[in-house]
């Protein structure tokens, strides 16, 4: 077997399930086995996707959702990472905030969203504020363990070489904690997207969550699936972007599979 | 009696926040929608007496337990299968890597239409969203089992079935539990959204009822119950994990986190 044929076979073995399911889906709908209003054929979903992306509607709503998610995510990272470092270094701050983060971690914070709508209104601010809260937890908890896990002897050797505190923070502690920081960010990023979509479904007039709700009440499920595909692609792209950033920042260590 | 300084510092912020909430609320300085802790307790007592709390709690608990159990079971079985058999792995990997990045709650309208407004649609969506983290954790766990352990067992003439149950599964168990824990957290998020968007009973319904009828104490009572339910479920899962993984989790994050 030639190398090309081998590669093609490997590629098919690796990816055949998605085209296979699309074909099964198309056949099931085409033969009338499945109610086509509930599950529109892949062809119709694709048409809806092309139309709605072409006329800019989906692009607009996706832009709203992604900008909200990213704003909340970045704010949570900017607050959470220094905070985790402070918690790892100071006993007082650790004692004050440890219960809030570790007891609060498993509490489903989504239940607080109605309160957020009262404080920040129904629009973008409440969604961003809530995303910050939801992302803060995984970021602070993961980064905290990262900062605590920095080996003391690394710090000692730096001090021994006469490095001052700022240099130690920048050149020793931060690089050592960077892998944990990135795993915290990678947990928080999909959380941000999920939270924004859910809160948009609960109540809003823009965003992909709203788009899904409104088209499902009109029983136009082709558009609903088109929006779901757009969310999937956005999530995939953002995750890959974060991985790229990680590879550049943590160039000395490969990520775990 | 000497009071430990750490304990004081641990309790300082939560207690201060509660006291400030109560005082400001009574003085009329906090917005009305924030209610007060004492009013929330009174509302909790009220719905306990009328029995509303138990109806809602039973409905929510049933949904989350059934959905979580189904999703976790499916995730473990398919995930272990994908870890052991390349055929299963190649079939599910592309699907999961695409679906994983989608908030599963986006399928809620479809599930509501398919399964109606009752329990079934919530159970189905919770199971659906719980499947993915468990699947991914089990698949990775099996693949990262130390080959030497498997070789050693095979070398002693262990049949494949025994290798699977006595070597692979125990070695994969710690990672599996992390996946299950993420699945549990997802389950509560999805439960809340599903109950708020389309449901007639449940804790989410108490919260939205409180909002609609401007009974903010009732809204917070629902929120408190929801939070406690989520917290307790997580603790129960951790307790089960500790029992099942005796001696396997020394120095892991969960142990440090108590």
User: A95 contacts in B (CB within 8 Å)?
Assistant: 5-6, 9-10
How confident is the model over A240-256, as a mean pLDDT?
82
* B116 vs A: CB within 8 A: no
pLDDT of residue A150: 87
Q: Cα distance from B151 to chain A (closest Cα, Å)? A: 22
Task: Specify the residue for token string 């104490």.
Answer: B217
Are B26 and B44 in the same domain? no
What single-letter DSSP state applies at residue B116? -
How confident is the model over A119-145, as a mean pLDDT?
93
Cα gap B8→A86, rounded to integer Å:
19
Are B72 and B161 in the same domain? yes
Do residues B60 and B203 lie in contact, with contact meaning Cβ atoms separated by under 8 Å?
Answer: yes
Are B18 and B60 in the same domain? no
- Residue A143: which pLDDT band, with cuts at 50, 70 and 90? very high
User: B227 contacts in A (CB within 8 Å)?
Assistant: 107-108, 111
- At a CB cut-off of 8 Å and minimum separation 6, what does B100 contact? A190, B132, B136
* Closest CB from A21, A108, A118 relative to B192: A108
Are B76 and B5 in the same domain? no
pLDDT of residue B2: 65
How confident is the model over A185-210, as a mean pLDDT?
91
**How high does pLDDT run on average in chain A?**
89
Q: Is the pLDDT at A124 greater than 80, yes or no?
A: yes
Are B12 and B98 in the same domain? no
Q: Is the pLDDT at A257 greater than 50, yes or no?
A: no
Q: Which CATH superfamily does the domain covering A42-249 fall into?
A: MetI-like (1.10.3720.10)
Q: Is A232 in Cβ contact with B98 (below 8 Å)?
A: yes
pLDDT tens sequence across B49-107: 998 899 999 999 999 999 999 999 999 999 999 999 988 998 998 888 888 878 888 89
Residues 173-202 of B with CB under 8 A from A: 185, 188-189, 192-193, 196-197
Are B16 and B82 in the same domain? no
pLDDT of residue B258: 39
Q: Cα distance from B76 to chain A (closest Cα, Å)? A: 19
Cα gap B114→A39, rounded to integer Å:
10
Residues 199-228 of A with CB under 8 A from B: 201-202, 208-209, 212-213, 216-217, 221, 224, 227-228
Closest alpha carbon to B22 in B9, B8, B41, B7: B41
Cα gap B189→A246, rounded to integer Å:
28
Decide: helix, strand or coil at residue B184. Answer: helix
Do residues B64 and B119 lie in contact, with contact meaning Cβ atoms separated by under 8 Å?
Answer: no
Are B199 and B136 in the same domain? yes
* Closest CB from A92, A97, A235 relative to B101: A235
CATH (domain of B213): 1.10.3720.10
Decide: helix, strand or coil at residue A207. Answer: coil
- At a CB cut-off of 8 Å and minimum separation 6, what does B258 contact? A102
Low-confidence residues in chain B, pLDDT < 70: 1-2, 247, 249-258
HEC per residue, A112-171: HHHHHHHHHCCCHHHHHHHHHHHHHHHHHHHHHHHHHCCCHHHHHHHHHCCCCHHHHHHH
Q: Cα distance from B216 to chain A (closest Cα, Å)? A: 9
Give the lowest-confidence range in A12-16, A18-22, B168-172: A12-16
Cα gap A194→A52, rounded to integer Å:
22
How many CB atoms are closer than 10 A to CB A17?
16
Are B121 and B178 in the same domain? yes
Task: Specify the residue for token string 């983290």.
Answer: B133
Q: Is A18 in Cβ contact with B102 (below 8 Å)?
A: no
Give the lowest-confidence range in A129-133, A138-142, B61-65, B100-104: B100-104
Q: Is B98 in Cβ contact with A18 (below 8 Å)?
A: yes
pLDDT of residue B138: 94
Are B186 and B158 in the same domain? yes
* Closest CB from A97, A114, A201 relative to B105: A201
How confident is the model over A31-53, as a mean pLDDT?
85
* A138 vs B: CB within 8 A: no
pLDDT of residue A255: 56
Q: What one-character-per-residue DSSP string does B40-91 give?
A: HHHHHHHHHHHSHHHHHHHHHHHHHHHHHHHHHHHHHHHHHHHHH-HHHHHH
Q: Cα distance from A154 to chain B (closest Cα, Å)? A: 20
Domain count, chain B: 2
Domain that holds residue B248: 38-256
User: A108 contacts in B (CB within 8 Å)?
Assistant: 185, 188-189, 192, 226-227, 230
Residue A80 tokens, joined: 């959470």
Are B20 and B67 in the same domain? no
Q: Is B231 in Cβ contact with A17 (below 8 Å)?
A: no
Are B15 and B78 in the same domain? no
- Angle made by CA atoms A67, A68, A73, in degrees to the nearest 5: 95
Do residues B55 and B201 lie in contact, with contact meaning Cβ atoms separated by under 8 Å?
Answer: yes
Q: Is A103 in Cβ contact with B223 (below 8 Å)?
A: no
Cα gap A110→B216, rounded to integer Å:
17
* B98 vs A: CB within 8 A: yes
Are B148 and B190 in the same domain? yes
pLDDT of residue B255: 45
Q: DSSP E strands: which ranges in chain A?
A: none
């Amino acid at each position: 077997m030639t190398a090309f044929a081998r590669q093609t076979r490997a590629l098919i073995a690796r990816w055949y399930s998605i085209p296979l399911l699309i074909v099964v889906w198309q056949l099931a709908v085409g033969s009338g086995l499945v109610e086509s209003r509930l599950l529109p054929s892949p062809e119709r979903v694709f048409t809806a996707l092309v139309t709605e992306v072409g006329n800019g509607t989906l692009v607009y709503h996706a832009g709203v959702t992604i900008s909200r998610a990213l704003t909340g995510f970045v704010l949570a990272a900017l607050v959470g990472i220094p905070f985790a470092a402070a918690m790892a270094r100071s006993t007082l701050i650790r004692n004050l905030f440890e219960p809030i983060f570790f007891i609060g971690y498993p509490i489903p914070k989504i239940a607080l969203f109605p309160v957020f709508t009262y404080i920040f209104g129904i629009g973008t601010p409440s969604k961003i504020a809530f995303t910050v809260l939801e992302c803060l937890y995984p970021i602070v908890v993961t980064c905290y363990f990262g900062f605590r896990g920095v080996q003391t002897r690394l710090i000692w050797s730096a001090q021994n070489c006469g490095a001052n505190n700022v240099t130690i923070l920048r050149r020793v502690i931060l690089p050592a904690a960077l892998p944990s920081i990135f795993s915290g960010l990678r947990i928080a990023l999909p959380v941000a997207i999920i939270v924004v979509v859910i809160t948009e479904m609960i109540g809003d007039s823009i965003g992909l969550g709203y788009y899904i709700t409104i088209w499902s009440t009109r029983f136009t499920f082709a558009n609903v699936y088109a929006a779901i595909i757009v969310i999937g692609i956005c999530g995939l792209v953002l995750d890959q972007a974060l991985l790229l950033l990680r590879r550049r920042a943590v160039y000395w260590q490969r990520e775990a599979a | 009696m000497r009071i430990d300084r750490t304990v004081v510092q641990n309790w300082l912020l939560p207690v201060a926040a509660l006291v400030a909430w109560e005082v400001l609320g009574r003085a009329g300085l906090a917005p009305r929608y924030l209610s007060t802790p004492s009013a929330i307790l009174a509302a909790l007592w009220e719905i306990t007496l009328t029995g509303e709390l138990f109806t809602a709690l039973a409905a929510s608990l049933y949904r989350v337990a059934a959905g979580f159990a189904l999703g976790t079971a499916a995730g473990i079985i398919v995930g272990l299968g994908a870890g052991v058999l390349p055929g299963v792995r190649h079939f599910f990997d592309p699907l999961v890597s695409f679906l994983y990045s989608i908030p599963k709650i986006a399928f809620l309208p479809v599930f509501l239409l398919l399964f109606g407004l009752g329990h079934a649609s919530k159970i189905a969506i919770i199971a659906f969203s719980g499947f993915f983290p468990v699947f991914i954790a089990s698949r990775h766990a099996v693949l990262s089992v130390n080959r030497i352990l498997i070789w050693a067992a095979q070398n002693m003439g262990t049949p494949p079935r025994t290798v699977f149950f006595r070597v692979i599964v125990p070695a994969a168990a710690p990672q599996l539990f992390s996946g299950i824990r993420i699945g549990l957290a997802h389950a509560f998020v999805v439960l809340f959204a599903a109950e708020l968007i389309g449901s007639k009973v449940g804790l989410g319904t108490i919260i939205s009822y409180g909002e609609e009828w401007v009974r903010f104490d009732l809204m917070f009572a629902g929120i408190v119950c929801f939070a406690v339910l989520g917290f307790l479920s997580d603790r129960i899962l951790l307790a089960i994990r500790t029992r099942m993984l005796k001696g396997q989790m020394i120095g892991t994050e969960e142990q440090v986190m108590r």
